[in-house]
Amino acid sequence: MTTYIKYLTILAFLAFPITFSFSQEKKINVIVIGAHPDDADGTAGGTAIKLAKRGHNVLFVSLTNGDAGHQTSGGGALAVRRRAEAAEAGRRFGVTYKVLENHDGELLATLDVRKDVIRLIRQWDADVVIGHRPYDYHPDHRNAAILVQDAAYLVIVPNVVSETPPLRKNPVFLYAQDSFQKPYPFKPDIAIDISDVFDRKVYAMSSHESQYFEWLPWTELEEVPKGEKEKMEWFHANRKRPITPAVRESLIKWYGEERANMVTDAEAFEICEYGHQPTEEEIKELFPMLK
């Protein structure tokens, strides 16, 4: 009986074409997949705030539990702490935050983790998937990128991870901005003005106390100010990302020159060759702040 039902499900799926369309009432579902707790926050936090404020659905995913990223703590105790920090960040961003139980520093692009990624994208009924580019200093980041790329086509294949219904359309897959130049630099196909929510983004990111105020300063030999006000001012300044000429050009494309030249903070994304290739009109539907 189970085989018969599965057969009927596949037939029903194949009977209709895979389409990509929106109505004004449809909620947009975005999933941001990072390697560690805090990765999604920095790359797409401002965009997530703007989407969530409009009533759309955003899921942040960390493929590892962050249990290695600290100079004096580690293992289960650190994982518990990182998970709690991610939950608080999610509350401040207005998004759902999910942390998987893979070990920090040991993420591999295995079949099992790929299946987890496929399930997550399907269960969220994702319209947009944002992740790392596969060119990065950190092996977890590179493998997270490969996992998302490997899921890009398979999310619509009924016989893969068959207990979770396949998507009826292929999402748009996007790479988050980075500064790596080889084998080719990041290309900002989409740029979002986050000037008006940058302070809230920084406040939400500051939930990751163990990462931003302990671990990263230790690795970079930086001194964190002692006072709470001074600490937050230091963190705010450190989170400022200069707008590159390429990102400024993308802002001009989407907002017009006058508005674009006033943007002080932005998040940019590159369209992955895998997944749905959106038109400009579809991009404006997916990112309504561009209209």
Q: Is the pLDDT of residue 15 over 60?
A: no
The per-residue pLDDT for 163 is 97
The secondary structure of the chain in percent helix, strand, coil, rounded to multiples of 5, reads: 45, 15, 40
The per-residue pLDDT for 5 is 40
Q: Is the pLDDT of residue 12 over 70?
A: no
Structure tokens at 64: 């590892």
Structure tokens at 201: 């983004």
The per-residue pLDDT for 26 is 87
Q: Is the pLDDT of residue 274 over 60?
A: yes
Over residues 124-132, the mean pLDDT reads 98
CB 59 within 8 A of CB 130: no
Structure tokens at 122: 């399907």
* Res. 22 pLDDT band, cuts 50 70 90: low
Which tens digit of pLDDT belongs to each residue from 221-260?
Answer: 999 999 999 999 999 999 999 999 999 999 999 999 999 9
pTM tops 0.85: yes
The per-residue pLDDT for 291 is 87
Q: Is the pLDDT of residue 130 over 70?
A: yes
- List the 57-64 sheet strands across, edge first: 96-102, 57-64, 29-34, 128-131, 172-176, 266-275, 190-193
28-290 CATH fold:
Rossmann fold (3.40.50)
Over residues 90-116, the mean pLDDT reads 98
Cα angle value 127/133/76 (rounded, 5°): 90
